[in-house]
Structure 1
Amino acid sequence: MIFNAASLSTIVLCALASLGSVAAVPSPFEYPEVVPGPGLPSLASLGITSKDLFEGTGANAPAKRDLLARFDRICYDNGCGRVSRANAQACVDYLIRLDTQQCVVGTSPAVMCVAGDAIIYGNNISGNGQVSSYCRDVGYGAKSVVDNCTDGNGQVAGADAAGGNGGLVVSIERC
């Protein structure tokens, strides 16, 4: 096949243009899916996407409240390994967006959110049958872990109390 200079340059320009347009389209697998825990609102019902949560600026946690003094934040690796800070933060942002929605925990740990390798649980340490806090306060407890328990490699694990209820402890774990 014989190409002249004009047709060859047209082919090169078309190829370069198509590469530019492919790079502009984000991959659907760019971010892990943020999955709310059972009984919590879907992302769609809130008008947000997983991408929105990963690209958000993050929510600012309030100063540590007196109630939290009954539970000292712990930073730990539970034997399953630490999780990505970005994945944990996406779940934090989801929970904070739920505002005054109640996050309820019975006698067993309750999954509040999953994103990639990060799982945020609520744990009932009160000894009562059920505890609850505003989901935003569960998010603030998780944010305290993200802000204070992240290692130099961007990995996090730990637990802290949810605001508004010293009996509800929030943990960020892999399993």
Structure 2
Amino acid sequence: MIATTYLTPAILALASFNVVTGAAIDSIKTPEVIPGPGLPSLKELGLTSADLYKIGRPDSSVKESSGDDSVKTSSIQARFEPRCGPSDYAYTNVNEVIACYNYLKALGNQNCVAPSGLGIAHFCYAGSAEITGQSLNPSGSSSYCHHVADAVLWTVDHCTRPDQSVAGFQAATGNGDLIVGSTSKQYIGSK
């Protein structure tokens, strides 16, 4: 009985250590998704960072309903001259960009706004990735966040390299004046 009383605290301590280190390992595998200024928090949406990573890679087609209730599928169309990169420094982990895509898609018709004066809006951060917006209109512009997500999806589909890094720019599908960047945080910060 004496051995049991001495072993129990040791076993509990080891079990607690495993729980703490397991949580730390999970946080390493799942970087935090951080909404940009003025956008709803994950808590307000009833989501967690882990949820956004678990959703995974999105389907790159948009379903449209016609009058006869049949479903057609069409690819997302470019609204400006999209581009990948432009440099190796811009590339970041594709799974982190996809987590931000899932966040922006969840916002639906919430407006994602790019400021006037060619300023850069910061829509989402995940790990080393950042989703930004910049208006081609000096007065600023906005689009539904799910349209911003469509631009992110274009980049994922067209700019992901074999090493699973991605970077690129595309216009929001609802507003050709709002250019969406899917890049490394260091790339945008270096401008």
Query: Same fold by TM-score, threshold 0.5 exceeded?
Result: yes
| 2:148 corresponds to which of 131, 138, 148 | 138
Match of 1:124 in 2: 135
Distance 1:79 1:24, change over 3 A: closer
Which 4+ runs in 1 deviate beyond 2 A?
21-28, 57-66, 77-81
Match of 2:107 in 1: 98
Match of 1:4 in 2: none
TM-score computed with the length of structure 2 as normaliser: 0.74
Q: Any idea what the Cα deviations from partners look like across 1:76-123, whole Å, max 9, x if unmatched?
A: 134524100000000000000000001011130101100011011011
Taking every aligned residue pair, what percent have the same amino acid on both sides?
35
CA-atom RMSD, angstroms?
2.7
Shift in Å, 1:161 = 1.0
Q: Does 1:87 align with 2:86?
A: no
Distance 2:131 2:139 in 1: 20
CA contact (8 A) 2:105 2:149 kept: yes
- Structure possessing the higher relative contact order (Cα contacts under 8 Å, 6 or more residues apart): 1
Amino acid at match of 1:104: V
Amino acid at match of 1:40: L
TM-score computed with the length of structure 1 as normaliser: 0.80
Distance 1:38 1:24, change over 3 A: closer
Distance 2:171 2:75 in 1: 10
Distance 1:109 1:171 in 2: 10
CA contact (8 A) 1:78 1:173 kept: no
Q: Which structure shows the bigger proportion of residues in strand conformation?
A: 2
Shift in Å, 1:128 = 3.7
Match of 1:49 in 2: 48
Match of 2:66 in 1: none
Amino acid at match of 2:111: Q
Distance 1:81 1:96 in 2: 23
Match of 1:159 in 2: 169
Match of 1:11 in 2: none
Larger Rg: 1
Equivalent residue runs for 1:23-62 within 5 Å? 25-27=22-24, 28-29=26-27, 30-61=29-60, 62=62
CA contact (8 A) 2:76 2:150 kept: no
| 1:74 corresponds to which of 64, 70, 83 | 83
CA contact (8 A) 1:33 1:115 kept: yes
- Give the gaps of 5 or more residues in structure 1: 1-6, 8-13
What is the SS of the residue equivalent to 2:84?
coil
Q: How many residues align?
A: 161
Amino acid at match of 2:126: A
Q: Any idea what the Cα deviations from partners look like across 1:37-90, whole Å, max 9, x if unmatched?
A: 110000000000000001113433424455x3x412211134524100000000
Shift in Å, 1:145 = 0.2
- Give the gaps of 5 or more residues in structure 2: 5-10, 63-73
Distance 1:79 1:95, change over 3 A: same
